[in-house]
């Protein structure tokens, strides 16, 4: 099972993966990996003009279109935007997803990120990976599996915690060769331009992503980068599967 070439990005909202790890997913897809992109929510609060139902439908379609650009499968766990909770029902959804996908690698948000949906998704991913093989947790036809996936956390937005302190990655992936694909994937999320301008004060969100990728890349001396930290707690794998899969594109810091 440890040689499975399956990666799962578990994010809070549509477009999160595109900001933080789409280049890495594209590189893995190009190396023959099966790629899954999952979001806890359909992003039903990310709008200034549509109803919750309308924007959820739009954003699911945007996420599926972005995933299709690298041959990935999109999943939505249908939690309410801004209300992702670390509780039993939500955790069972995450465990069931991980058991169905059976990933070797899981990419999840940073626990020090700027909003609680991301923070709770990070915790859900950690426990979901830990419990994927626990046989006394019943998730129906989604059966337990071993070994525990390799878990990596993406950079927080702007590589800062909520106090403005730097959160440095321990691994930077050089995504320059697939950066145009990353840009095209993020461009699928066109509904977010007005929302980000109104709520975040960000006009050109693709340019924002480019700036963040350049800043991350500078840590490793490459044009564009995506940063990660590996979860190395007890019962989790200690070898660096992501670096092994990506070879010279991975820079340990």
Q: Which domains does the chain have, with CATH numbers?
A: 6-252 (3.40.50.10320)
Residues 6 or more apart whose Cβ sits within 8 Å of residue 66: 14, 15, 17, 18, 22, 37, 74, 185, 186, 188, 189
Q: What angle do CA 93, 106, 124 make, to 5 degrees?
A: 40
C-alpha span between 60 and 234 (Å, rounded) = 36
The pLDDT of residue 203 = 53
CA distance 108 to 86: 14
Per-residue pLDDT, averaged over 36-48, amounts to 94
State the average pLDDT over residues 157-183: 98
Average pLDDT over residues 172-194: 94
pLDDT, residue 199, reads: 55
Query: What pLDDT score does 48 carry?
Result: 79
Report CA-CA distances (Å) from 175 to 181, 225, 237, 248: 10, 5, 25, 11
* The length of the chain, given as a count of residues: 253
Residue 153's DSSP bridge partners are 108, 229
Identify the pLDDT of residue 201.
Answer: 57
Mean pLDDT of 84-101: 99
pLDDT-derived band of residue 1, with 50, 70 and 90 as boundaries? very low
Q: What six digits make up the tokens of 172?
A: 């930077």
pLDDT score recorded for residue 196: 65
How far, in Å, CA of 128 to CA of 147, rounded? 13
Average pLDDT rounded to a whole number, residues 168-188: 98
Q: Is the dihedral of CA 87, 88, 93, 97 positive or negative?
A: positive
Specify the pLDDT at position 46.
85
pLDDT at 126 over 60: yes
pLDDT(21) > 50:
yes
Query: 164 pLDDT exceeds 80?
Result: yes
The pLDDT value recorded for residue 3 is: 83
**Reported pTM:** 0.96
Would you list the DSSP string of 185-223? HHHT-TTHHHHIIIII--S-HHHHHHHHHHHHHHTTTSS
Tokens of residue 84, six digits: 């992702």
Closest CA to 246 of 148, 150, 180: 150
Dump strand ranges (E) for 101-209: 105-108, 150-154, 171-174
Measured CA to CA, the distance from residue 45 to residue 199 in angstroms comes to: 11
47: pLDDT confidence band, cut at 50, 70 and 90?
confident
């Amino acid at each position: 099972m440890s040689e499975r070439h399956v990666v799962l990005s578990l994010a809070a909202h549509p477009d999160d993966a595109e900001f933080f790890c789409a280049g890495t997913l594209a590189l893995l897809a190009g190396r023959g990996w099966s790629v899954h992109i999952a979001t806890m929510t359909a992003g039903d609060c990310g709008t200034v003009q549509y109803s919750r139902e309308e924007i959820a439908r739009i954003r699911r379609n945007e996420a599926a279109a972005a995933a299709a650009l690298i041959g990935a499968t999109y999943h939505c766990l249908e939690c309410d935007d801004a209300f992702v909770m670390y509780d039993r029902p939500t955790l069972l959804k995450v465990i069931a997803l991980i058991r169905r996908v059976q990933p070797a690698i899981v990419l999840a948000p940073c626990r020090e990120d700027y909003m609680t949906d991301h923070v709770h998704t990070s915790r859900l991913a950690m426990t979901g990976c830990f419990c994927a093989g626990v046989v006394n947790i019943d998730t129906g036809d989604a059966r337990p599996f071993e070994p525990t996936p390799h878990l990596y956390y993406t950079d927080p937005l702007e590589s800062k915690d909520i106090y403005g302190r730097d959160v440095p990655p321990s691994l930077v992936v050089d995504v320059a060769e697939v950066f145009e694909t990353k840009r095209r994937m993020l461009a699928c999320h066109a509904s977010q331009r007005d929302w980000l301008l109104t709520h975040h004060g960000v006009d050109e969100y693709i340019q924002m992503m480019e700036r963040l990728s350049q800043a991350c890349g500078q840590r490793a001396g490459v044009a564009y980068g995506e940063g990660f930290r590996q979860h190395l707690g007890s019962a989790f794998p200690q070898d660096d599967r992501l670096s092994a899969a990506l070879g010279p594109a991975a820079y340990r810091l």
